[in-house]
């Protein structure tokens, strides 16, 4: 794959790769001219609203919809009995997650409700307001069942089994025992242990889940306008469960107001909209409201981890042992399962380090709360926080600097490719280099001096590190091998238009992260035009090549490589045509800034627009035998490694007000190694946004549930998101270790910020409070918890 | 489930008379719309489902900030932003000017109103505590006539006031701050603009070198703004800085059991009340010096 000859597109003088090209779509978004699903109005469209279970666990005894149905404007009121013939159930399991089990899930509750907010009855009406009026008139008679909410007791023999047919409340279990863990702990100079709690939180997209399902009974086509990350996956799933011909299902996804992983899952209410459009033969719109988002969007984390780490006297990590339990709600979410987050925790904890002794027991249990599944960072924030907190604790016990313990324990630079004790294979990482750069850019020594001085004045500042690895550029090993029809390959079709402009259709999607910008940069560089001359089309399964969309930080690495190869192919094709027209050898020509030029002198030979004119309209003038091909398609799948692991080093500086328990974030630094940086501006934005979400996990965000399984803070007033006023300045710098698996050399960057921040913030708080003998490991670190740790309340 | 309000009738009042006629006709089923920063979300969430909404934003009698004799009169319809930028408020009721930036965010402060906040009576709101600390008087009108209610009689509980369904708050009168007046306003909130975990509006006067008429009023710790009278009484007749703040804090602990919220325990709230009290007393002592 390595084609880094002297003049590859990466280092050509007119390459746009590595430049901070602004986003062409930013203006549209900023002016409020974007097209979100709710902006789309179709003729004869009806609106859905749902009657949802107020209980976490209940049997549905009866449903009376008479009054709702009588309301003018109400078209249909349906229960699961009405949808039986329109939709088949789904089960969130994958073949390669051995032993994972779950129960069938339906568009509406089928006799029992298993979590608060589960849809029971759907109302289709001519307006959303009328549909909501009708929901208020529906009477459902429930028999409350005992809710299982505490994950720690979910497997106890006297805890009710949520799905009796499954036998118990265990969804999935995994263990790793690598090396000789017991011996390593027995021989250790220092052993540290801690129990961590990771708060259940959720993605909170500004644009909620939104869908319009539009079935045309005449030609049996289904068009889905969705706010989604994976259009082709949705195409497959809606066809499969609605019993339609997959080739007749089209998914269109225009602008997306945030996704963060929560728009890659199958949601009952959205599937109900699919069943209803087939039933009614009319377009059906469903937009989740904020309470529905909080209670029914996937949640994430909610892990309790007890872990210990062994060190030599010299500060080298020799062993890690951990026990993880996570509660995932009543179902493993379809089709990616709710076993993946735990799997990542098991795979990645203390991943940057060279110890070979590693033992994990991890269990995923059912409970009567909202469902949990993949959200930005998937398992990484937990794995990173656990490993990095134990290192800091070990460093304190050894009387060593935490940065130095990391340096001594990193996988050595000459050990790559490297197989971790969990079985993960790393191509090449730059931990030591990244940490050294981090320590330099933050001026670590000066901060430590300042910290000491301020402590004497009663000001408690803390510095927290987090070194991490991130799974990106997934191969089929992630889902495909488990039987899910989720593409890990992606494609790009690129064409030269008669105007000389380039149109590029890609299977990766734009969620607001800048995919369209980087695809344009790559295509522009590969062909030889300015990015402004490239128009990128995403999110329409009738138009773009079959692809996986946005997940596991794959857009740049996978979609970008496909665009690069497609662009190079188009360039070859253009030069072949140009050579024939200009009677020059194609190798003697180049394309620069939209012109065919003489490669050596740079002298202009022909604008692309002229070539386009000749090819498209004056084929009669072309040399005999020439059949120009100005469209090229290329696909790319990562095969030589299951994943491209990136790495990063984070540091957080903060101050704890020991009177109020408030944490003031002062500065945050990230040195990121995502391989080739296509657009530094977008990489920095991704990193900062990710760090902010990670800070949210550490300080603010938590889905609070009552013991009865009621979410008690389902509003933006009570569920606290990180906001600009509290965020520190976040400095982003780079070490660049391109992946050798692709010519582009880009790895993903979408999740590393989220992965590192919770651990870095936790370490910084504990560093600040160290002199006061206070320590916290239960996120989020609220003032209440900090004051309790300080013994003030 | 809840995105759109239940259908309601809307009336834009041009005069107090218009307001009275709606309130008299519909009683409990009518809601007054001022800035809409609390009512409109409540409507959309169907937590409020009135038959009729009467918009008072064009009622002249509710607007204006003026000094009348020895009081500052703030029209109920005054937007937060108007109050925050008013020279009269800054001069005569500086505590209010200090408090308003703590209320939510700019967009909300551009729409939300002074009177709306008081009538909404959210126990975590800043202005009810200021009104209590400053001994504000509420001018109330209805078709039956006018009456005045002292701030200490106005707030009855969470979202509950002494207003009758047929009454409207017209304006609030605050005694002009005089020479020797001290005030302190602060709150502890997890994010800028959030409802506080605990807040304190404190005022006192220095007469003849000693504190008089001291009032410590806490918010976000009970079902309404809470005047800590026992603790406040300990300040009377003492020179600022001459007493032990811990004695005052102990009086708080003896007399007040704060209500917890979703993420803050009662004990933490009490601790924060003490922290705020110490800071206020230190501030008073510093100003005197």
Q: What is the pLDDT of residues A728-762, one digit of tens each?
A: 999 999 999 999 999 999 999 999 999 999 999 99
Taking CA atoms, A32 is separated from A25, A35, A36, B108, in Å, by: 11, 9, 10, 20
ipTM over 0.90: yes
CB contact under 8 A, A136 and B193: no
Instruction: Tell whether A407 is covered by a domain.
Output: no
Residue A63 and residue A95 in one domain? yes
* B117 and B188, same domain (yes or no): no
> Are B75 and B168 part of one and the same domain?
yes
**Cβ distance of B5 and A129 shorter than 8 Å:** yes
**Which residues, other chains included, contact A82 with Cβ-Cβ below 8 Å and sequence gap of 6+?**
A279
Are B4 and A660 inside 8 Å of each other by CB? no
Q: Which of B43, B120, B272 to mutate to test the interface with A (most CBs of A within 10 A)?
A: B272
Are residues A688 and A604 part of one domain?
A: no
Instruction: For residue A31, count other CB atoms closer than 10 A to its CB.
Output: 8
Which segments of chain A have a pLDDT < 70? 1-7
Name the DSSP letter for residue A630: -
Same-domain check for residues B66 and B36: no
Q: How far apart are CA A581 and CA A296, in angstroms?
A: 61
Q: To the nearest whole angstrom, how far is the Cα of A787 from the nearest Cα of chain B?
A: 7
Question: Is A522 inside any structural domain?
Answer: yes
Mutate to test the interface with A, among B1, B47, B269, B270 (most CBs of A within 10 A): B1
CA distance A734 to A683: 10
One domain for residues A175 and A261: yes
**Same-domain status, A271 and A282:** yes
Instruction: Tell me the chain A residues in contact with residue B194 when contact means C-beta distances shorter than 8 Å.
Output: 720
Q: What percent of chain B has pLDDT over 70?
A: 99
Position B134 in a domain: yes
Q: Which of B175, B203, B237 is the last residue of a domain?
A: B175
Please report whether residue A213 resides in a domain: yes
**Whole-number pLDDT of residue A1:** 40
Q: How many domains does chain B have?
A: 3
Q: Could you tell me the CATH number of the domain that includes residue A721?
A: 3.30.365.10
Tell me: do A139 and A273 sit in the same domain.
yes
Peptide bond into A417 cis (omega under 30): yes
Nearest chain B residue (CA) to A121: B1
A133 vs chain B: nearest CA distance in angstroms? 7
- Domain assignment of residue B3, yes or no: no
Question: Could you tell me whether strands A303-311 and A317-327 are parallel, antiparallel, or unpaired per DSSP bridges?
Answer: antiparallel
Which 3-state string (H, E, C) describes A168-214? Answer: CCEEEEEEEEECCHHHHHHHCCEEEEEEEEECCEECCCCCCCEEEEE
Domain of residue B39 covers 9-55
Residue with structure tokens 């300015």?
Answer: A530
| Residue B263 to residue A782, Cβ atoms within 8 A | yes
Question: What CATH number has the domain bearing residue B128?
Answer: 3.30.465.10
Chain B hits for A717, Cβ within 8 Å: 195
The answer on B127 and B22 residing in a single domain is: no
Residue where one domain finishes, among candidates A636, A663, A678: A636
Residues A148, A172 within the same domain = yes
Nearest CA in chain B to A696: B191
Residue B1 lies in a domain: no
Neighbouring CB atoms inside 10 A of A647's CB total 28
CB B30 within 8 A of CB B37: no
pLDDT of the residue at A463: 98
Q: Are residues A198 and A309 in the same domain?
A: yes
**Helix and strand numbers, DSSP H then E, in chain A:** 19, 30
Chain B residues with beta carbon closer than 8 angstroms to that of A140: none
Are A494 and A548 found together in one domain? yes
Distance linking the first and last C-alpha atoms of chain A: 62
A352: its two tokens: 């940057």
Residue at which a domain ends, from A337, A356, A379: A379
Looking at the structure, do residues A373 and A495 belong to the same domain, yes or no?
Answer: no
Q: Give a yes or no: residue A561 inside a domain.
A: yes
Residues B120 and B17 in one domain: no
Q: For residue A783, give the nearest of B193, B197, B267 by CB distance.
A: B197
CB contact under 8 A, B275 and A659: yes
Average pLDDT over residues B113-127: 98
Residue B49 lies in a domain: yes
Number of domains in chain A: 3
DSSP characters over B61-113: GG--EEEETTEEEEETT-BHHHHHT-HHHHHH-HHHHHHGGGSS-HHHHHH-B
Backbone dihedral region for residue A29 (phi beyond 0: left; psi -120 to 50: alpha; all else: beta): alpha
B160-161 and B155-157 strand pairing: antiparallel
The answer to whether residue A416 sits within a structural domain is no
Same domain, A703 and A667: yes
Per-residue pLDDT at A13: 72
Query: Which two structure tokens, joined as six digits, stand for A160?
Result: 């009710």
Residues B68 and B163 in one domain: yes
Instruction: Decide if A793 and B271 are in contact by the 8 Å CB cutoff.
Output: yes
Co-location of B22 and B78 in the same domain? no
Domain identity same for B98 and B47: no
Cβ distance B1 to A713 less than 8 Å, yes or no, reads no
Chosen domain end from B145, B175, B205: B175
- Confirm if B216 and B202 have CB atoms less than 8 A apart: yes
Contact A588, A580 (CB under 8 A): no
Give the sign of the dihedral formed by CA B105, CA B108, CA B111, CA B117: negative
Q: Give dist(CA A493, CA A559) in Å, integer.
A: 11
pLDDT given at position B288: 58
B7 interaction partners in chain A (CB closer than 8 Å): 129, 133
Region of residue A258 (phi > 0: left; psi between -120 and 50: alpha; otherwise: beta): left
Interval B243-287: pLDDT, tens: 899 999 999 999 999 999 999 999 999 999 999 999 999 999 988
The minimal CB distance from A662 to the residues B188, B195, B270 is found for B188
Residues of chain A contacting residue B186, judged by C-beta atoms under 8 Å apart: none
CB contact under 8 A, B265 and A700: no
Q: Is the pLDDT of residue B2 over 90?
A: no
Question: Which residues touch B48 (CB under 8 Å, ≥6 apart)?
Answer: B31, B39, B42
User: Is residue A178 a part of any domain in this protein?
Assistant: yes
User: Looking at residue B17, which CATH number applies to its domain?
Assistant: 3.30.43.10
CB within 8 A of A157, min separation 6: which ones? none
Residue A239 near residue A275, CB atoms below 8 Å: no
| Closest chain B residue by Cα to residue A665 | B191
If asked whether residues B255 and B197 sit together in one domain, one would say yes
pLDDT value at position A7?
A: 58
Q: How far apart are CA A608 and CA A590, in angstroms?
A: 11
Q: What is the pLDDT of residue A419?
A: 96
pLDDT of residue B1 exceeding 80: no
Q: Give contacts of A129 with chain B, Cβ < 8 Å.
A: 4-7
Sheet holding A139-144, edge to edge: A112-113, A58-64, A139-144
The answer to whether residues B162 and B226 belong to one domain is no
A172 and A95 together in one domain: yes
CATH of the domain at B251: 3.30.390.50
Asked if B170 and B235 sit in the same domain, the reply is: no
Q: Which of B142, B157, B175 is the last residue of a domain?
A: B175
Angle at A229 between CA A224 and CA A234, to 5 degrees: 40
Show the domain range for A614.
Answer: 26-34+489-636
Mean pLDDT of B160-168: 97
Candidate from A291, A712, A783 with C-beta closest to B262: A712
Q: Domain for residue A418, yes or no? A: no
Question: Is residue A568 located within the same domain as residue A672?
Answer: no
Give the one of A49, A52, A720 whose C-beta lies nearest to B191's C-beta: A720
pLDDT at A2: 42
Pairwise CB contact (< 8 Å): B4 & A132: yes
A404 located within any domain: no
Q: What is the pLDDT of residues A466-521, one digit of tens each?
A: 999 999 999 998 899 999 999 999 999 999 999 999 999 999 999 999 999 999 99
């Amino acid at each position: 794959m390595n084609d880094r000859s002297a003049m590859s597109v990466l280092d050509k003088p007119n390459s746009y790769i590595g430049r901070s090209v602004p986003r062409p779509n930013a203006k549209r978004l900023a002016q409020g001219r974007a097209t979100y699903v709710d902006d789309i109005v179709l003729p004869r469209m009806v609106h859905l609203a749902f009657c949802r279970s107020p209980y976490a666990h209940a049997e549905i005894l009866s449903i009376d919809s008479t009054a709702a149905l009588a309301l003018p404007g109400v078209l249909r009121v349906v229960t699961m009995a009405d949808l039986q013939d329109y939709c088949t159930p789904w089960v969130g399991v994958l073949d390669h997650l051995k032993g994972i089990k779950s129960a069938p899930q339906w568009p509406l509750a089928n006799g029992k409700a298993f979590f608060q907010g589960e849809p029971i009855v759907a109302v289709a009406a001519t307006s959303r307001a009328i549909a909501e009026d009708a929901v208020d008139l529906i009477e459902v008679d429930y028999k409350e069942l005992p809710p299982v909410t505490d994950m720690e007791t979910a497997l106890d023999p006297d805890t009710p089994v949520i799905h009796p047919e499954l036998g118990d409340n265990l969804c999935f279990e995994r263990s790793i025992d690598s090396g000789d863990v017991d011996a390593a702990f027995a021989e250790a100079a220092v052993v540290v242990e801690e129990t961590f709690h990771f708060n259940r939180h959720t993605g909170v997209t500004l644009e909620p889940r939104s869908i319009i399902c539009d079935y045309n009974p005449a030609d049996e086509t289904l068009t889905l306008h969705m706010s989604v990350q994976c259009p082709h996956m949705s195409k497959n799933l809606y066809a499969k469960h609605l019993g339609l011909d997959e080739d007749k299902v089209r998914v269109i996804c225009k602008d997306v107001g945030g996704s963060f992983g929560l728009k890659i899952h199958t949601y009952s209410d959205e599937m109900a909209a699919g069943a209803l459009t087939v039933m009614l033969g009319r377009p059906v719109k469903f937009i989740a409201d904020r309470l529905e988002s909080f209670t029914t969007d996937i949640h994430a984390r909610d892990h309790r981890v007890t872990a210990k780490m062994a060190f030599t006297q010299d500060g080298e990590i020799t062993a890690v042992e951990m026990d993880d339990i996570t509660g995932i709600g009543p179902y493993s979410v379809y089709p990616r399962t709710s076993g993946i987050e735990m799997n990542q925790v098991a795979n990645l904890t203390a991943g940057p380090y060279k110890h070979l002794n590693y033992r994990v027991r991890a269990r995923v249990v059912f409970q009567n709360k909202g469902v949990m599944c993949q959200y930005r960072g998937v398992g990484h924030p937990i794995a990173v926080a656990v490993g990095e907190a134990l290192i800091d604790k070990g460093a304190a016990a050894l009387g060593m600097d935490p940065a130095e313990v990391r340096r001594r324990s990193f996988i050595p630079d000459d050990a790559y490719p490297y197989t971790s004790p969990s079985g993960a294979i790393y191509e090449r990482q730059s931990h030591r280099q990244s940490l050294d750069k981090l320590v330099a850019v933050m001026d670590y020594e000066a901060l430590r001096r300042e910290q000491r001085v301020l402590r004497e004045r009663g000001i408690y500042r803390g510095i927290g590190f987090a070194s991490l690895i991130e799974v990106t550029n997934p191969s089929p090993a992630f889902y495909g091998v488990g039987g899910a029809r989720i593409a890990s390959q992606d494609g790009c079709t690129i064409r030269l238009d008669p105007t000389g402009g380039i149109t590029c259709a890609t299977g990766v999607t734009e969620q607001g992260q800048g995919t369209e910008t980087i695809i344009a940069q790559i295509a522009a560089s590969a062909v030889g035009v300015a990015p402004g001359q490239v128009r990128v089309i995403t999110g329409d399964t009738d138009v773009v090549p079959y692809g996986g969309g946005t997940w596991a930080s794959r857009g740049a690495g996978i979609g970008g490589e496909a665009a690069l190869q497609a662009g190079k192919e188009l360039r070859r094709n253009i030069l072949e045509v140009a050579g024939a027209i200009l009677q020059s050898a194609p190798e003697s020509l180049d394309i620069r800034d939209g012109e065919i030029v003489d490669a050596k002198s740079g002298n202009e030979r022909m604008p692309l627009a002229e070539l386009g004119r000749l090819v498209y309209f004056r084929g009669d003038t072309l040399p005999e035998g020439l059949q120009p091909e100005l469209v090229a398609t290329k696909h790319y799948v990562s095969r030589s490694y299951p994943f491209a692991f990136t790495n990063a080093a984070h540091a957080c500086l903060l101050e704890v007000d020991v009177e109020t328990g408030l944490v003031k974030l002062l500065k945050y630094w990230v040195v990121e190694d995502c391989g080739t940086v296509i657009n530094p501006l977008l990489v920095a934005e991704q990193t900062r946004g990710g760090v902010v979400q990670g800070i949210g996990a550490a300080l603010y965000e938590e889905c609070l549930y009552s013991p009865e399984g009621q979410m008690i803070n389902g509003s933006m007033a009570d569920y606290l998101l990180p906001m600009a006023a509290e965020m520190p300045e976040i400095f982003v710098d780079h070490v660049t270790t391109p992946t050798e698996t692709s010519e582009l050399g880009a790895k993903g960057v979408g999740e590393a910020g989220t992965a590192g921040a919770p651990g870095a913030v936790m370490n910084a708080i504990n560093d600040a409070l160290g002199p006061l003998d206070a320590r916290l490991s239960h996120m989020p670190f609220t003032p209440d918890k900090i004051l309790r740790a300080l013994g003030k309340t | 489930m809840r995105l759109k309000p239940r259908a309601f009738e809307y009336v834009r009042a041009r005069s107090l008379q218009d307001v009275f006629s709606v309130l008299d006709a519909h009683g409990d089923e009518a809601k007054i719309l001022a800035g809409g920063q609390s009512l409109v979300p409540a409507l959309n969430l169907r937590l409020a489902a009135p038959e009729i909404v009467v918009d008072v934003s064009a009622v002249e009698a509710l607007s204006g900030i003026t000094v009348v004799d020895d009081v500052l009169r703030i029209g109920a319809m005054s937007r937060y932003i108007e109050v925050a930028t008013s020279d009269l408020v800054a001069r005569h009721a500086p505590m209010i000017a200090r408090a308003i930036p703590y209320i939510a965010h700019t967009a909300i402060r551009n729409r939300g109103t002074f009177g709306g906040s008081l009538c909404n009576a959210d126990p975590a709101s800043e202005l009810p505590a200021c009104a209590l600390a400053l001994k504000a008087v509420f001018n109330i009108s209805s078709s039956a006539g006018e009456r005045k209610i002292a701030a200490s009689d106005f707030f009855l509980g969470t979202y509950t006031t002494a207003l009758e369904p047929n009454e409207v708050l017209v304006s609030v009168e605050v005694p002009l701050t005089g020479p020797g007046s001290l005030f302190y306003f602060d709150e502890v909130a997890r994010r800028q603009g959030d409802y506080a975990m605990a807040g304190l509006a404190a005022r006192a006067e220095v007469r003849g070198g000693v504190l008089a008429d001291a009032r410590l009023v806490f918010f976000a710790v009970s079902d309404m703004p809470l005047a800590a009278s026992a603790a406040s009484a300990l300040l009377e007749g003492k020179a600022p800085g001459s007493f032990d703040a811990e004695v005052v804090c102990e009086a708080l602990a003896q007399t007040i059991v704060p209500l917890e919220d979703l993420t803050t325990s009662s004990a933490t709230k009490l601790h924060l009340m003490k922290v705020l009290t110490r800071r206020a007393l230190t501030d008073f002592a510093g100003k005197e010096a």
